[in-house]
Amino acid sequence: MKQSRAMSLVEAVVNVAVGYGVAVATQILIFPVFGLHTTLAQNLKIGAVHGGERRAFLRSEAAVRGAKGAIRS
């Protein structure tokens, strides 16, 4: 059975939300171990920055793979 576009969107949004939540929770637990004491607002901002970095990396990785595929053809 093929997944509808709407359900693909729902899946993508849920995946991003869960990943962001896990990242922020990890920061809240790990940062104090290294002596970094941040507020919830700071952790949320750091999580957003890291999310943006990850998306940029994944886009560049996809572009490199696409270029390699074009060269091989």
Give me the pLDDT at residue 30, please: 96
Indicate whether this model's pTM tops 0.85.
no
Domain range for 47 is: 5-72
Task: Examine the pLDDT at 71 and tell me if it is beyond 70.
Answer: no
- Residue 59 parent element (H or E): helix 40-72
Count structural domains, the chain. 1
Tell me the pLDDT tens digit for each residue of 8-22.
889 988 988 898 999
Tell me the pLDDT tens digit for each residue of 24-52.
999 999 999 999 999 999 999 999 888 77
Give me the pLDDT at residue 34, please: 97
Rounded-to-integer distance, Cα 66 and Cα 63, Å: 5
